[in-house]
Amino acid sequence: MALPKYKTSRANTHSRRANWKTSAAQTVTCPNCGEPALPHMACPNCGQFRGRVYRDAIKPAFSK
């Protein structure tokens, strides 16, 4: 395995890491409630996706 012969300078390190950028997640509006939601995921507000309600299936075990 190759080893670096010299220490990488801060300028080279920062310029290399400058390409690591994040972007905001794209959202779509829920057709049921109109809230923003991630595409291909159930709506966090109403729990619907493609006409099915998924919130009822994901209830905590300790709730009454």
14 part of a folded domain: no
- The whole model's pTM is what? 0.54
Q: At a CB cut-off of 8 Å and minimum separation 6, what does 28 contact? A: 36, 37, 38, 39
16 part of a folded domain: no
| Structural domain of 55 | 31-63
> Is residue 59's pLDDT more than 70?
no
26 part of a folded domain: no
Percentage of the chain surpassing pLDDT 90? Answer: 39
8 part of a folded domain: no
Fill in the amino acid letter for 12: N
User: What's the confidence (pLDDT) of residue 13?
Assistant: 93
Q: How many domains does the chain have?
A: 1
> Is residue 6's pLDDT more than 90?
yes
10 part of a folded domain: no
46 part of a folded domain: yes
